[in-house]
Structures are given as C-alpha cells and as structure tokens.
Amino acid sequence: MQVRHDGPVESRGTIGRLVLAGTPIGNAGDATTRLVDLLATADVVAAEDTRRLHRLASTLGVAPRGTVLSYHEHNEVERTPELVEAVRGGSTVALVTDAGMPSVSDPGYRLVRACVEAHLPVTVVPGPSAVLAALAVSGLPSDRFAFEGFAPRKPGERSRVFAALAADERTLVFFESPHRTAATLAAMAEAFGAERDAAVCRELTKTYEEVVRGSLAELAAWAEQGEVRGEVCVVVAGSSGAPSREPAELVEEVLDLVSSGYRLKDAVRVTADRGGVPSRTLYDEVVARRKR
C-alpha cells in the first residue's frame, strides 16, 4: 500500500478540494463561522436536500455563491463522478447533509472514497454531531463507545444484531425513528438485559429537547405509552463484563421462583438478568424442560 497525504491547502496549486461540512442538528445557532464562510465561497455545494440547504443559508444570512446540487442516496452513484471531476478541475466542493456530519449515517462515504482513490484533497469543517451530543448527555460512560446507526427493521434480524452486541463492553449509540423506538427498546431489554442502563435522547438542541434515563425495561414501558416524538438517539451502557451462564443452568432457578409464586415471565426475566443471558433463550429452555 502506498502511503499518501493531503498537503497544506496553499500548496495544492489548481487542484480543488472536497470539504465535508457539519450542519446544525436542530438549532441553527450551532452553525460555525467556517460553515457560513464555506457556503459563501464554495464553487459547488452538494446538499442532501437543496431546499433545506437554502432555508439554512437564509437563516444564517448567507447566499451560496456557487452551484447548488442535490446529492442524496438516490443519486450519489451517478453524481459522484461529476463532483470528483469538479474537484479535479480546481473547484472547492462543499458537501452538506440535512443535519450533522456527512458520511455518518448520511451520504458522503462514496464521494470521499472516490476522491481519496483519485488522489484529490479531502478536508473537513467539523460541526454538530447527534452521536456525540447524545453520548455526552446520556450520563453513561463515554471513554469507549461504538456508533451502530439504525437498528434493523425486521424483528429477527434486529434480535440477531443485538445478540451479537450483548457482550460488548463499550457504550452503544443508535439512531432510531420515533415509531420504532418502543419495539427497539423492548428488543434491547430482551437481548441486553432488562436492567441495563440506557438513555433516550430526542430532539437534541431543539425547543422540545428531552433526555429520558433509566433501565431498558423502564424505557421500553415509557415508550409504549406513546411518548416518543422527533429525532431519536438511544444510548445503551456496555456489558459489565460479568461472565454469563448457560441457560440450561438457570432453569431450576426459574422453576424455584415459579414455585414461590412468581409468574413464569417474571421469573425468567429476573433470572436472565442475574445470569447474563437473553430472556427469550431462557424462556425457551424452561418450556422445553417442562415438556420432557
């Protein structure tokens, strides 16, 4: 592999550059002066939604000088070569998405990769990030974390993804749509344990910003009441690292609790949390034992 680097802007001659620019995630007052200057001077502004870009620019009191083009998931394959050629020809191309940083669950990676492969300069005007904002206000450990994007929509695939993450000791950050938040939190409680700490962060930096903290079971119950609105981030504490036990080893503990008056579902939940195993797996094991 050949090592290469982008040199200082002043030394690049007539070659242009791609600039990834962060935009406000809700409050326009979070826009940086560098973003305003970039919108005023870039030769091309590639925007996920051109109408939203013009509204933002108007709010910021700036009129884009250059050509404004759309660049989104439905046209990025066709438009990427055009933007690469603009950079190659000496243009400054600014890439902005509807909110936050390009390439983070938004268009941008394909264009960055194409410019890197073409040995063209790529730089950044950093700005707000919903991922970092949610992590910071969640109250959960932030020294090690992983961004997992949106959870799969299909229940089976979602459960498989969560099962693979259950032992991860890093704090996990997810994006989610409001109408799927309740189901996602319930699936997380099933896979990670009902008592795992988490936070639901919605409408960050906006008028109705809200952060709800609690166990996954508590948050799932809250979300079921129809309380979730707006843009949502879910932050989940990492695994404690405590060794888990085999579900078969916990069956007798469940049956003992049932004998003492617990409902089966509650006995499974309590025992699964203590043993560090998914509730569904333990429930299936108990049902299978009863049939023998």
pLDDT score of 4? 59
Task: Kindly report the average pLDDT of the chain as a whole number.
Answer: 91
Encode pLDDT of 124-169 as tens digits: 999 999 999 999 999 999 999 999 999 999 999 999 999 899 889 9
Higher pLDDT, 33 or 248: 33
Instruction: Say if CB 83 and CB 111 are below 8 A apart.
Output: yes
* CB neighbours of residue 273 within 10 Å: 19
> Which residues touch 11 (CB under 8 Å, ≥6 apart)?
none
The confidence band for 73, taking pLDDT boundaries of 50, 70 and 90, is very high
Q: What are residue 10's DSSP bridge partners?
A: none
Whether the model pTM is above 0.95: no
The residue whose two tokens read 């932030």 is 142
Amino acid of residue 199: A
Q: What is the rounded distance in angstroms from the CA atom of residue 249 to the CA atom of residue 264?
A: 17
Higher pLDDT, 124 or 10: 124
Render pLDDT for 192-244 as a digit per residue (tens, 0 to 9): 988 899 999 999 999 999 999 999 999 999 999 987 899 999 999 999 876 56
**Domain locations along the chain:** 14-128, 131-236, 247-291
Q: How far apart are CA 100 and CA 48, in angstroms?
A: 11
Q: 288 CB contacts (<8 Å, ≥6 apart)? A: none
pLDDT at 42 over 60: yes
**Strand bridging mode 197-202 / 210-215:** antiparallel
| Long-range contacts of residues 259-264, Cβ cutoff 8 Å, at least 24 apart | none
User: What pLDDT was estimated at residue 167?
Assistant: 87
pLDDT greater than 80 at residue 188: yes
Would you say the C-alpha torsion 75, 122, 105, 161 has a positive or negative sign? positive
The H-assigned helical ranges of the chain are 33-41, 50-60, 76-88, 109-117, 130-138, 155-165, 181-192, 216-224, 247-259, 264-275, 279-291
The CA–CA distances, whole Å, from 285 to 29, 67, 289, 291 equal: 54, 62, 6, 10
6 has pLDDT over 70: no
Query: Dmax of the chain from CA atoms?
Result: 80
Beta-carbon-side half-sphere exposure of residue 35 (alpha carbons within 13 Å): 25
CATH topology (fold) of 131-236: 3.30.950
pLDDT of residue 11: 47
Q: Which fold has domain 14-128?
A: Cobalt-precorrin-4 Transmethylase; domain 1 (3.40.1010)
Query: What would the mean pLDDT of 54-72 be, rounded to a whole number?
Result: 97
